[in-house]
Structure 1
Amino acid sequence: MAIMSNHGVALIIALLCAVFSLFVALSFGAAPTSLADVYHSLTFSSEASFTSRIIIELRMPRTLLAFLAGSGLAIAGLILQTVTRNPLADPYLFGISSGASLGVVVLMAFVGIGAGIVLSAAALIGSLVAMGLLILIAGSQRNAQVESMLLAGVALSFLFSAFTSLLLYWSDPQAVAAILFWTLGSFARAQWPSLLLPALVIITCTVIMLGFRRQLNAMLLGDESATTLGVRVHRFRILMLILSSLITAVLVAMCGGIGFVGLMVPHIVRFFISQGSSVGLLMTGLVGGIFMVWVDVLARSLLANQELPIGVITAAIGSLFFLSILYFRKRQLVGK
């Protein structure tokens, strides 16, 4: 009961922090806005002023998209780390994000920028191709499937990035700047209608993953133990990879390439809550959303009248986090 109570308190605190972050983030931007203006705009107690329109029509969709992106990528990273039992697993490192980016860049380079659903379909195709190649390469070595999956993912990530760079080299110079900025990650395209698809996909996939929480717990014990407990390991791993690919594809189509979120956030949450619990999955989504909201604030605030790409900031933070994990794991091995 004490553990459940502590988990419940942690979840409530994370939820309050998420609401607070979403509220405060609406006050940051090119136009000076106070928290009082944000409150009056959200409660509709003021007339439809210019400031209220900025908050409701521009900043709020962007902030909500940032929260959804952080939540989705963090949950996708947690699932990948669980089914592969690899603490360094991440949609970006597994090549899923690069494959989705390649699918969108192919569409944008040869057809032009299409509607949101078309971009999401292209990203989904690219991520499924990446996932299929990943399973084909790693699955051919059944005894070393988990160990070889990360290496295959890194190789595929570099391969898809090379094809993306080649397409950018051949594209119209006027379109390269927009495509390049998009590939580095941005929430600038956020609009109210475009939030429906990522919200629906993330909520649906999260509910499905919560329904399979017992199987996910069994996967943490190893393939043999999970099989003994009645889990069809290979089929279940593919299902989880498909769900992670679906989340990543939709978010890449909306926001571009944003890496390392799925690597960092599950490790941060793991310090406070066990990995296999339902609360742990929900906490991972909340902490990921909070993290991405403040990264977006940082991207809009660091330089005056300019916006830094989101992927540049997450890559800088994530690289340091990645190296820190490797360093502490090495020290633990040496200590043993």
Structure 2
Amino acid sequence: MSHRHFIYGPRHAIVHLMPWLVVALILALVATIAAGVSFGATAIPLAHVWKITLSHLGMSGLEADWSAGRDNIVWQVRLPRALLGASIGASLALVGAALQAVTRNTLADPHLLGISSGAALGAIIVLLHTGMFLGLITVPLFAFLGALGSTLLVVAVARFAHASDASRLILSGVAISFVLTSLGSLAIFLGDPRATHTVVFWMLGGLGLAQWNQLSYPLAALFICGGYLVYNARNFNAMTLGDESATTLGVSAGRFRMTVFVVCALLTGAAVAFSGIISFVGLMVPHLVRMVVGGDYRRVLPLSALVGAIFLVAADIVARVIIPPQDMPLGIITGLAGGVFFIVLMRRNGKAG
């Protein structure tokens, strides 16, 4: 099998449909966000959703036939929540796809590599022990530092154990994830009992704390770090062939891998800081995308971002309507969906094998 066939796979012809596929997914994302704003314990007609949104964006001449309560629900509560969900879903899907390429392990994702656990530990320390001494930036900053620290620990442990093979980094990640999760549990145990219930709900994942004044952080991380990952799609294609082949193609494999780890730590830290731990998105979405378009990362990365955004917004709709008026933790929904997906995937691969 040639290197070209390995990278592009048997679905290379789909490149001609790529622009239409991107447009279709963007329209699907807009429709899903609109549905996320419309559905809930208090249903709001889609016509009102669009009118309220456009009025806040400065469009004049609209008939204000909605109540102040609906205006507040749409603009202050549900729209920032849906936009946060889209940015978090896109970020986690990009991280999963990138890590799977540089480790050449299809099970790699921010959770299994310990990045999510490190980010969670940093956020728990702020919420229960230090307080917001730097203002709103405190939680995202500590979450990023925790994610970056866990990434460095994974690399250090892999080198200490002489696990130089990139695919074995995931074993170090699992070990670090267990350690950091235990430290997070210890921090909760030692924290203020009156605040621990909030942290536990946050650790299960959710978008209920979304606010306009905080959206800039995950969105900035997505556009800057996600842009870097998409820009380097050709390097990811080279990395899937192995370090020696990547070096032959002009990619410094070790340096690029470490850079990707730092970028993924920043993306994961920004995501975890505002949504808690949401599992399986980074693991499941890249698999779904590769099943449709093949292994070329010039297609996998942007499509994973769009599919991840759609998936998480849709999962949040389910979380809000399944037991109204309460919100089910989002991590439960994504965990159930991811578990079922991989059971089906294992059965399919078993039949193929």
Normalised TM-score (structure 2): 0.89
Which blocks of at least 5 consecutive residues in structure 2 are unaligned?
1-11, 56-61
Q: Structure 1: state its 5+ residue gaps.
A: none
Counterpart among 2, 10, 16 of residue 5 in structure 1: 16
Q: 2:82 aligns with which of 41, 55, 63?
A: 63
Shift in CA distance, 139/232, structure 1 to aligned 2, threshold 3 Å: farther
Partner of 1:105: 124
Mapped partners of 1:100, 1:331: distance in 2:
38
Q: Determine the C-alpha separation between the residues in 2 that align with 1:303 and 1:113.
A: 32
For 1:290 and 1:68, how far apart are their aligned partners in 2? Answer: 10
Return the match for 1:82 from 95, 101, 125. Answer: 101
Q: Distance in 1 between matches of 2:41 and 2:243?
A: 52
Q: Secondary structure at the match of 1:87?
A: coil
Distance in 1 separating the partners of 2:269 and 2:260: 14
**Matches of 2:278 and 2:184, distance apart in 1:** 15
Q: Which residue of 1 aligns with 2:33?
A: 22
Q: Distance in 2 between matches of 1:143 and 1:307?
A: 42
Shift of 1:328: 4.3
Asked whether the 8 Å contact 1:21–1:293 carries over to 2, the reply is yes
- Whether the 8 Å contact between 1:92 and 1:259 is mirrored in structure 2 is yes
Give 1:50's aligned residue: 69
TM-score by length of 1: 0.94
Note if contact 2:132-2:138 (Cα within 8 Å) is conserved in structure 1. no
Aligned to 2:187: 167
Could you tell me which of 79, 91, 94 is aligned with 1:72?
Answer: 91
Which of these residues, 43, 48, 61, is aligned with residue 37 of structure 1?
A: 48
3-state SS of 2:296 partner: coil
Question: In structure 2, the residue corresponding to 1:313 is in which secondary structure?
Answer: helix
Deviation at 1:39, TM superposition (A): 2.3
2:142 is aligned with 1:131: no
What amino acid sits opposite 1:85 in the alignment? R
Question: What SS does structure 2 have at the residue aligned with 1:43?
Answer: helix
How much has 1:144 moved relative to structure 2?
A: 4.3
- Kindly tell me the number of residue pairs found equivalent between the two proteins: 333
CA distance in 1, matches of 2:212, 2:302: 24
One-letter amino acid of the structure 2 residue matched with residue 8 of structure 1: P
The one of 159, 166, 171 equivalent to 1:151 is: 171
Cα drift, residue 157 of structure 1: 1.1
Contact map agreement 2:36 2:314 (CA 8 A) in 1 = yes
Q: Is the 8 A contact 2:33 2:82 kept in 1?
A: yes
- Cα 1:60–1:198, aligned 2, differ >3 Å: closer, same or farther? same
- Structure-2 separation of matches of 1:285 and 1:269: 10
Q: Distance in 2 between matches of 1:2 and 1:231?
A: 27
Q: Secondary structure at the match of 2:141?
A: helix
Aligned-pair distance for 1:112?
2.7
Deviation at 1:327, TM superposition (A): 4.6
For 1:141 and 1:328, the matched residues in 2 are separated by: 35
Letter in 1 for 2:234: R
Aligned partners of 2:16, 2:311: CA distance in 1, in Å?
25
For 1:98-247, list aligned pairs within 5 A: 98-113=117-132, 115-140=135-160, 144-247=164-267
- Give the distance between the partners of 1:2 and 1:259, measured in 2 at CA: 32
8 Å contact 1:76–1:90 — kept in the other structure?
yes
Contact preservation (8 Å) 1:11, 1:279: no
- Which is worse superposed, 142-151 or 75-84? 142-151
When the two chains are superposed, the root-mean-square deviation of aligned CA atoms in Å is: 1.8
Post-superposition shift, 1:36?
2.0
